[in-house]
């Protein structure tokens, strides 16, 4: 782990900001994370307590992350694009006792902790202000010697559910000495050859579960993380050439944007160092993947998993070319496809609810009902995806059992948007669904039934979209509104979203 890398080569960069070139060496990371760990322990945080991180992707992010991990704490990444009420829910639900923010987000952080006496440690990467202490000034007096007892902590990410309420993913602490790779890190190293030669480009916000897991794994094995935020298509190519990137992770939307670059820009950069272009988070259109392979060569690797860590499947370029559309084979245990109505396992090539074995112990924080819903009586876990498995064990996704929308690799949950729209006095009934979008895969659409006597109009559609923007994060808001006379509902009142989506996805049927 980072301690051994710091001892062997303290001047080696652990992380670099792609655009400005600022770096954090392993020596600095080791020293500062030790000092922060001591501060948190002295301020009363005990094993398993939570430290919230509310900051854009920056070098201090890694200091806080590793300080929590080396002191048996759980760190809670908070999406800073959320509205204040949404972010406050995560902070309060997690029972965080500390929060670390940046100067840029200090006003939002101040709003979140207002009236929250549990959050006794409040630090900012900028100067002390508004009740937040300067991170650097606060840790400077502390010794850089390791704690007497250093045991593994970890992340506590939040993943929203169909109810729209985020759910904290609480995994048990292993009790292993600090520096012990977890199961996911060992798997990633084996599958993708992570070692001290790895130079990993991370173009996604650090608050997402995947960047957290991957950057920790890369640093744990002694590689260098190159952080690029916000995403910029040409910036990706420039970073690969400048830093001789060997590994990079994307979502399909990134590929779409890269493919839209003019040829004179796309061909300007030397990409020969890149050996692993890894993607996940959303289905990638086969034609997009093929075009990327034509450009970058057969280096595209896909995986299927989730923040809950219900198993892990992966597929390399050679297998994908002969199993187009597959997300891979399980690398952690058997796959079960279950009929959601009968509970019986399906025959091969029959669509059902996908369950994966070898799940890590976990629970949704303060939500035992949701925990039970995603686990089978045998302990298998499901992400709620429908799909099928062929005779060779390759998994194919067909549909999502839930109504979740994935837009540009980001999960959006319709119920939360519907709860806002239904408050408008003109709305009688509403459904929010994902519809096709060439760049993002899906975009959010609201389908609305108006109160009797009212007429649909562009002005009313604009009002509804403005209401959403005022209440929830912008990426969740509808990009368009359709008005209908009736929404399809079962006699028992259940909204038949599958029928509604079929009107917008005419070619979305599964062909086996």
Q: Residue 413 is encoded by which pair of tokens? A: 């949950």
pLDDT above 60 (res 480): yes
Helix pair angle (26-42, 59-70), 10° resolution:
60
| Domains of the chain, residue spans | 26-179, 306-402, 407-502
Q: What is the mean pLDDT of residues 326-335?
A: 92
Each residue's pLDDT tens digit, 302-322: 999 888 888 899 999 999 999
The answer as to CATH 2.30.38.10 being correct for domain 306-402 is yes
SS3 309: coil
pLDDT above 60 (res 221): yes
- pLDDT computed for residue 229 by the predictor: 83
- Helix, strand, coil % over all residues of the chain, rounded to 5: 30, 25, 45
The 8-class DSSP code of residue 426 comes to: T
Q: How confident is the model at residue 335 (pLDDT cuts 50, 70, 90)?
A: very high
Beta strands in 43-95 (DSSP E): 50-54, 74-77
Each residue's pLDDT tens digit, 409-450: 887 878 788 888 988 989 988 999 999 998 888 999 999 999
- pLDDT computed for residue 400 by the predictor: 63
- pLDDT computed for residue 386 by the predictor: 81
pLDDT above 60 (res 156): yes
One CATH from 2.60.120.310, 3.30.300.30, 3.40.1160.10, 3.40.50.300 for 407-502: 3.30.300.30
Write out the DSSP string of 330-358: ESSS-EEEE-TTT-PBPPTT--EEEEESS
Question: What CATH fold (topology level) applies to the domain 26-179?
Answer: Rossmann fold (3.40.50)
Decide which of 39 and 506 is more confident: 39
Q: Is the pTM of this model over 0.85?
A: no
CB atoms within 10 A of CB 3: 18
SS3 259: helix
CA distance 444 to 436: 9
Phi, psi of 172 (to 5 degrees): -65, 145
Write out the DSSP string of 102-169: -STTHHHHHHHHTT-TT--EEEESSSSBTTBEEHHHHHTTS--SPPSS-B--EE--EEE-TTS-EEEE
């Amino acid at each position: 782990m980072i301690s051994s890398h710091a001892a062997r080569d303290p001047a080696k960069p652990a992380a670099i900001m792609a655009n400005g070139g600022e770096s954090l060496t392993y020596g600095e990371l080791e020293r500062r994370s030790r000092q922060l760990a001591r501060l948190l322990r002295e301020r009363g945080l005990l094993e398993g307590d939570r430290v919230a991180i509310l900051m854009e992707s920056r070098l201090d992010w890694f200091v806080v992350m590793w300080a929590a991990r080396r002191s048996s704490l759980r760190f809670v990444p908070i999406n800073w694009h959320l509205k204040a009420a949404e972010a406050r829910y995560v902070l309060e639900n997690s029972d965080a006792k500390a929060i670390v923010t940046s100067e840029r987000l200090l006003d939002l952080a101040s709003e979140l902790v207002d009236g929250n006496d549990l959050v006794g440690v409040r630090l900012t990467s900028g100067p002390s202000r508004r009740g937040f202490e300067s991170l650097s000034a606060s840790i400077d007096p502390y010794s850089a010697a390791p704690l007497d007892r250093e045991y593994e902590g970890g992340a506590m990410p939040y993943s929203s559910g169909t109810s729209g309420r985020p759910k904290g993913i609480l995994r048990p602490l292993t009790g292993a000495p600090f520096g012990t790779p977890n199961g996911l890190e060992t798997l990633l190293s084996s599958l993708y050859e992570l070692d001290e030669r790895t130079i990993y480009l991370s173009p996604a916000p650090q608050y997402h579960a995947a960047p957290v897991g991957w950057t920790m794994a890369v640093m744990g094995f002694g590689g260098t993380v190159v952080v690029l935020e916000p995403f910029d298509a040409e910036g990706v190519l420039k970073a690969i050439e400048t830093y001789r990137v060997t590994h990079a992770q994307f979502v399909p939307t990134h590929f779409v944007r890269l493919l839209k670059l003019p040829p004179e820009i796309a061909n300007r950069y030397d990409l020969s160092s890149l050996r692993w272009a890894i993607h996940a988070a959303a289905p990638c259109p086969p034609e997009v993947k093929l075009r990327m392979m034509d450009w970058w060569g057969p280096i595209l690797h896909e995986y299927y998993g989730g923040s809950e860590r219900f198993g892990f499947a992966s597929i390399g370029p050679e297998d994908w070319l002969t199993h187009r559309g597959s997300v891979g084979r399980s690398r952690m245990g058997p796959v079960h496809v279950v009929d959601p109505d009968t509970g019986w396992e399906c025959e091969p090539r029959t669509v059902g609810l996908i369950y994966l074995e070898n799940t890590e112990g976990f629970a949704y924080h303060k939500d035992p009902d949701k925990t039970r819903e995603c686990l089978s009586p045998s302990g298998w876990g499901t992400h709620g995806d429908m799909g099928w498995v062929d005779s060779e064990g390759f998994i194919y996704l067909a549909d999502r059992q839930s109504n979740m929308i994935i837009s540009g690799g980001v999960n959006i949950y319709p119920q939360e948007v519907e709860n806002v729209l239904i408050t408008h006095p003109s709305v009688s009934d509403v459904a929010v669904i994902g519809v096709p979008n060439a760049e993002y895969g899906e975009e959010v659409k609201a389908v609305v039934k108006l109160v009797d006597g009212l007429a649909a109009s562009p002005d009313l559609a604009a009002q509804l979209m403005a209401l959403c923007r005022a209440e929830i994060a912008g990426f969740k808001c509808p990009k368009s509104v359709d008005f209908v006379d009736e929404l399809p509902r079962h006699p028992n009142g259940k909204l038949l979203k599958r029928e509604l989506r079929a009107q917008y996805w005419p070619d979305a049927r599964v062909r086996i």
